[in-house]
């Protein structure tokens, strides 16, 4: 293989930056959703008191 072939970038810097930002955004959205979901679950106390919850919620 020639040195010229090995030095060729896979994608342009602007495309690489866009892909990196998209990846960061996706990871942040998963993190925010996980934290919000856990807070919401804890706020309901649905799983803590051990009562029978088979009926409709009021």
Q: What is the pLDDT along the chain (58 residues), one digit of tens a residue?
A: 555 566 666 788 899 999 999 999 999 999 888 888 877 777 766 555 555 556 565 5
CB–CB of 53/46 below 8 Å? yes
So what's the pLDDT on residue 34?
Answer: 84
CB–CB of 41/47 below 8 Å? yes
Q: How far apart are CA 14 and CA 8, in angstroms?
A: 15
């Amino acid at each position: 293989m020639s040195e010229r072939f090995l030095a060729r970038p896979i994608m342009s810097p602007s495309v690489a930056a866009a892909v990196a930002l998209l990846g960061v955004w996706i990871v942040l959205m998963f993190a925010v959703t996980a934290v919000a979901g856990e807070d919401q679950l804890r706020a309901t106390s649905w799983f803590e008191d051990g009562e029978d919850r088979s009926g409709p919620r009021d």
